[in-house]
Amino acid sequence: MEPSGMRKGFIGLLGVGLFILSSCAGSSSYMKPTETRAPLMRDKAVVRFMRPSSFGFAVNVNVLDGEKTIGNSVAKSQFDYSTNPGRHLFIASAENQDYLEADLEAGKLYYVFTNIYPGIWRARVAFEPVNRGSKHWDEMRKYENELTLLRPDEAALKIWQDRHAQDAKEMVAAYENDPKKSEYPKLSPGDGR
């Protein structure tokens, strides 16, 4: 085979491999499949964390509310977090940490994407809140129907949280001491539905 033919063959194989990997869904021992969404209640807010991409499918992203571990963001999946209204600091932890300030209103549903990017040693993460009027605002039903619905395995998450309590405190402290914290994404009460 001449070099240009070998190159074409390699590019074709690479394309097929990337297609197969792009359709891979992840899994996590901290999350379980479910068919039930968190109900909207008058005195609670719900945040729906979504990861539509399969990029980095082998990497799960820990999601925290302050120092409390609330779930894993898994490729091609979503999970709900029902919580008290008011101010929250959500943290996503992978090779890096990303932060999301949220001011949640009771009785409303909020959406947040956890996006994965290449890192040096492993995947990096970035929160993308779905703010009113943003490019994804009108697409959320599509994502809800396409992504696997998961729920946290509370017992497994508690074990992980107990082992990593100091790490969680350090992540919160890093945020509090970050001179650029005003640049992190935000969710406001009006971003709920």
- pLDDT at residue number 20: 38
- pLDDT at residue number 12: 45
Query: Which class for 50: exposed (0-12), middle (13-18), buried (19 or more C-beta within 10 A)?
Result: buried
Task: Tell me the pLDDT tens digit for each residue of 178-188.
Answer: 999 999 999 99
Task: Tell me the pLDDT tens digit for each residue of 102-140.
Answer: 999 999 999 999 999 888 887 889 999 999 999 999 999
The 3-state secondary structure of the chain, one letter per residue: CCHHHHHHHHHHHHHHHHHHHHCCCCCCCCEEECCCCCCCCCCCEEEEEEECCCCCCCCCEEEEECCEEEEEECCCEEEEEEECCEEEEEEEECCCEEEEEEEECCCCEEEEEEEEECCCCCCEEEEEECCCCCCCHHHHHHHHHHCEEEEECHHHHHHHHHHCHHHHHHHHHHHHCCCCHHHCCEECHHHCC
- pLDDT at residue number 47: 98
- pLDDT at residue number 7: 54
Length of the chain: 193
- pLDDT at residue number 23: 42
- List residues bridging with 81 in a β-sheet: 47
Structure tokens at 40: 């909207």
- pLDDT at residue number 58: 59
Regions of the chain short of the pLDDT cut 70: 1-28, 54-58
